[in-house]
Amino acid sequence: MDGYELLEYIKPTGTPVIFLTAKGAVEDRIRGLKAGADDYLAKPFQVGELLARVEAVLRRMGMGGKQLELGDVTVFTDSRQAMKGGSPVILTAKEFDLLVELMQNKNIALYRDQLYEKVWKEPFFGETRTLDAHIQRLRKKLGWEERIKTVFRIGYRLEG
State residue 119's pLDDT score. Answer: 94
Q: Which of 43, 71, 36 is nearest to 57 (CA)?
A: 36
- Report the distance separating Cα 83 and Cα 144, nearest Å: 14
Q: pLDDT tens track of the chain, all 160 residues? A: 888 899 988 888 888 899 999 998 999 999 999 999 999 999 998 988 998 898 888 878 765 568 899 999 999 988 899 999 989 999 999 999 999 999 999 999 999 999 999 999 998 887 779 999 999 999 999 999 999 999 999 999 999 8
Contact indicator for 119, 93 with CB cutoff of 8 Å: no
Residues 6+ apart with CB under 8 A from 139: 145, 147, 148
Query: What structural domains and CATH numbers belong to the chain?
Result: 3-60 (3.40.50.2300), 67-158 (1.10.10.10)
Contact indicator for 36, 11 with CB cutoff of 8 Å: yes
- Report the distance separating Cα 57 and Cα 14, nearest Å: 12
